[in-house]
Structure formats: C-alpha cells, structure tokens
Structure 1
Amino acid sequence: MRLFRALEPAAELRDALGRLAPQARRHCGGRRVPDENLHLTLAFLGEVDEARAERLSRWVSRLRPSPGSWTLDTFGSFRGPGIVWAGGSHPDPLLGGLHHRLWDELALQGFAPPAKAYTPHVTLVRRADSLDTSALPDFELHWHYHQVTLILSVLTDEGPRYYPLALSGQA
C-alpha cells in the first residue's frame, strides 16, 4: 500500500485551488491534477504493508493536531518532476511545526524522514513543459486546517486515485 499523510482542503478551498490549476496548465503545459486529488502532503510514507498501515490508521485516528491557518499566495515549481504548485510566499511556523512533529512520531515507528527541506505546496500540474510561473495571476487563499488524513494512493492508467484511510480526531 502506498501511503501519505496530508491536509485535505475544505470544499470551497478545493474549488478555488481547482480554478488555479487550469490557468497553470494553460501557461505551463503538462497534466492538471484533478480537483479531488488536491491536497497538502505532510509526510510521504511510500510502500507500507497492511499490518503497518492498520497501526498507522489507529495512530492517525488518535491524533489531535493544533488548528492552524496557512496563506497560499504564490505559484512555484520543482524542476525534477516538472511540478507547478500553489503555496505560501512566507514560511508558516505552525505548518512547519506540524510537519516536524509528525516526522518525529513517524521516526519512532521506523520511518526515515526525507533528506530534502520541506516546502509546503499543493501540486496543480505534473510534467509541466515550462516551469516559468511569473506570468500567472496573483491570488490569495486562506487554508484553515485542523485534521490530518492518512491517504492510500492507488496508481491507475488515468493517474493516481486517493482514498482516505484515517482522519485525525476520529478515534
């Protein structure tokens, strides 16, 4: 099972992010991420066996993350995978703290944290032809979060499909 931990946007925010994605695709090319897949990854766990996934589901259900708010106001890109994303122009200490606390707990469960620095973002386009986001429009969105989701990623011919396995505070 391919798993990750994420924040999922509320419907209104998901719609607003979904309106940014076609603009990014028109300008940069590539494959637009479907609205139902828009999320903020906190921890990518990779392949996990079923027993470990069950333990992670129980653990996530018992989590009580502190609520926070993140302002998304900039486009960015990652060269290697050709990703165009929406994110914040200023670091968010609460979001960064949540990411680090989750990885501290995951390390106790035998997961190795990523070597790269964490850049909170919502992927809008994959395999972009151009990573120049300078001509994309200004925007400002506010993400109020209070729950973490454990998500199963299933790769299909049409792209990945995401299925929530556990939601924090649902024990």
Structure 2
Amino acid sequence: MSEPSRVGPWDRVFFALWPDGALRRRLARLVDRVTDACGGRGIRVDRLHLTLVFVGEVERERVDFLRALAASVVAPRIELTLDVLGYWRHNLIAWVGPSVVPEGLILLVRALEERLSAEGYSFDRRPYVPHVTLARNARCREAQVLEEAIAWTAEEFVLARSVRGEEGASYEVVDRWPLGG
C-alpha cells in the first residue's frame, strides 16, 4: 500500500512537560553519568523532556487546532520525583522516571488523549510510562543507581515540534499552557 499523498508542510508534534534551566542542568549531569556507565548517545540538553502524548505527524495548518485543544485542558500543578533509573533492552534506551506516578500527571495525559480521540487524532496508545530519555543505543550491563532523587514541580505543559536540521533533529516549543487550574 502506498503512503497517502501529502499536501502542504507537516510537523511532527508532541505534548510534554518541559524542564526549566536548573532542572535541565541536573538532568544533563545525569545524562553524562549514564553515558559514562552505559555508552550510547546522550540526549542533548535542549531535547530533554517528559512526553505526555506523542501525536506524530500532522499538517502544519492543524497545529493551531492542537493549540486550541490544549488550551481547553485544566489540570493541577504536577509534583514529580524522578527517582528511578531505567533501561529498556528492546530499544537500548536509558531513562529516569518516577517510581510513583502522580495523579495529576495521569489526569493531564488522560485529558489530552480524550480530546485528541474526540477529534479523530491518532497518537501513540502504548501504556503510559512517564520518563525522560537520557541516552539512546545504551548498553547497561547492570542496574544504575540514582544517588539522589530529582524533584520537579511542573507548572506548565507544552506542545513541541521536531525540527530537522543539519545536526539532526531539535525540538521547538510551539506553545505553553499553565498547570494549576
């Protein structure tokens, strides 16, 4: 079966929690530690995030509709504790995430998924495992230990797009919405 013809430009988009500068620096140190121990390709500091819903490719003209959809979401501020270092052997990804998923995070993801479904959007429907990817193509031989948990108070969520450039993909925040309503 051939791929459908594409009219106009497309964007690859996702909703995410976006760390602030201080949290980004802490995560970057963790990236360095994990890649020292497991090898692989560390995630660049400007790409660190926690995906809420990966939407995938959408026509660029539909991005404003996604912005309006997100603006209708009301969710509490999210207090996360990143206290688990994980490794998925099947795709060679090292990550950090919470051992306890806050209810507010579940509510936010569910609200976005429900609105996307109601509007006919397809998105990644695998069971939700909140995490920040630290390294790709990693080969962790033993469990990594997180010496100190990382507290994250998420006061907003974002819609981001993947932008291809000469040095690979980078992420660009399209819009932001406050949490705490």
1:95-151 alpha-carbon deviations (Å, 9 max, x no partner): 1221112111111121234342111000110111x1345144422111101211000
Partners of 1:156 and 1:132 in 2: how far apart? Answer: 33
Are 2:106 and 1:96 equivalent residues in the alignment? Answer: yes
Report deviation, 1:157.
Answer: 4.5
> Which ranges of structure 1 fall in alignment gaps of 5 or more residues?
none
- Structure 1 residues 33-42 or 80-89, which shifts more? 80-89
Are the counterparts in 1 of residues 85 and 145 from structure 2 also a CA contact under 8 Å?
yes
TM-score normalised by structure 1 residue count: 0.89
Total equivalences in the alignment: 168
Greater relative contact order (Cα < 8 A, sep 6+): 1
Please provide the CA RMSD for this pair: 1.7
> Which ranges of structure 2 fall in alignment gaps of 5 or more residues?
1-10
Query: Cα 1:133–1:63, aligned 2, differ >3 Å: closer, same or farther?
Result: farther
Are the counterparts in 2 of residues 74 and 139 from structure 1 also a CA contact under 8 Å?
no
Are the counterparts in 1 of residues 162 and 169 from structure 2 also a CA contact under 8 Å?
yes
1:165 corresponding residue in structure 2: 174
Which of 107, 118, 121 matches 1:111?
121
Are 2:97 and 1:87 equivalent residues in the alignment? Answer: yes
Are the counterparts in 1 of residues 85 and 144 from structure 2 also a CA contact under 8 Å?
no
Are 2:170 and 1:156 equivalent residues in the alignment? Answer: no
Higher Cα Rg, which structure: 2
Amino acid in structure 2 at the alignment position of 1:54: D
Identity fraction in percent: 32
Are the counterparts in 2 of residues 64 and 147 from structure 1 also a CA contact under 8 Å?
no
